[in-house]
């Protein structure tokens, strides 16, 4: 992974390259993406690219890492506004969907990582799961989460958000209807059985 530049100007240029790479990899895929197109969209000379990244592979891996870090920060900030675990799940799901609206190519880029760099792909999800487990463990200690395997629960909850996002944000470019979000919250509160009491 490349190191952050020391100057504000350098950090801005590097970020411009990452933003351009996000759109290029999202639009044409890793195989067809060209460094010349990334630099053109970033508004920098092609030689400037190599000041910050050694190769197309390196900027792709850094982009996956960068997007994951941005998303985890957004989810953490959203969770901090809620007072209990169920509320954290709801605000987290909404924050995830809002992030997808801003980063429409997230799914495309992360799915490519499975083939471009399988370890980066695994680490993307492992980082989410580790943070999720930490939050669930805290909620479990408060009596808000059942005594179950927390890693399994984390991946199950990540799967819910992933597919809800895919169905509406990715396929239709919209937030899911409120009835869909209400259904997700019903599932989290009551399981798949009817509500009791």
Instruction: Answer yes or no: do 34 and 65 share one domain.
Output: no
Closest by Cα among 186, 188, 82 to 135: 82
Residue 170 falls inside a structural domain: yes
Instruction: Answer yes or no: do 98 and 40 share one domain.
Output: no
Whether residue 194 has pLDDT greater than 90: no
- Per the model's pLDDT, the better-predicted residue between 86 and 197 turns out to be 86
Whether residue 166 has pLDDT greater than 60: yes
Residue 72 falls inside a structural domain: yes
Instruction: Answer yes or no: do 113 and 163 share one domain.
Output: yes
pLDDT on residue 191: 87
Residue 196 falls inside a structural domain: no
Q: Give this prediction's pTM.
A: 0.93
Instruction: Answer yes or no: do 36 and 62 share one domain.
Output: no
Q: Which domain holds residue 128?
A: 56-190
Instruction: Answer yes or no: do 27 and 65 share one domain.
Output: no
What confidence tier does 176 reach under pLDDT thresholds 50, 70, 90? very high
């Amino acid at each position: 992974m490349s190191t952050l530049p020391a100057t504000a100007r350098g950090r801005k240029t590097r970020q411009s390259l990452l933003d351009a790479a996000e759109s290029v990899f999202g639009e044409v895929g890793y195989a067809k993406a060209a460094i010349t197109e990334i630099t053109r969209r970033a508004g920098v000379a092609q030689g400037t690219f190599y000041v910050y990244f050694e190769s197309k592979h390196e900027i792709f891996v850094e982009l996956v890492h960068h997007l994951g870090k941005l998303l985890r920060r957004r989810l953490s900030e959203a969770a901090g506004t809620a007072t209990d675990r169920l509320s954290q799940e709801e605000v987290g799901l909404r924050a995830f969907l809002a992030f997808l609206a801003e980063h429409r190519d997230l799914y495309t880029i992360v799915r490519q990582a499975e083939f471009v760099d399988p370890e980066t792909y695994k680490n993307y999800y492992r980082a989410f799961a580790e943070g999720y487990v930490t939050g669930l463990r805290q909620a479990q200690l408060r009596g808000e989460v059942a005594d179950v395997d927390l890693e399994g629960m984390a991946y199950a909850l990540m799967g819910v958000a992933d597919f809800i996002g895919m169905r509406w944000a990715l396929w239709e470019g919209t937030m899911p209807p409120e009835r869909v979000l209400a259904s997700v919250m019903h599932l989290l509160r009551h399981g798949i059985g009817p509500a009791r009491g």
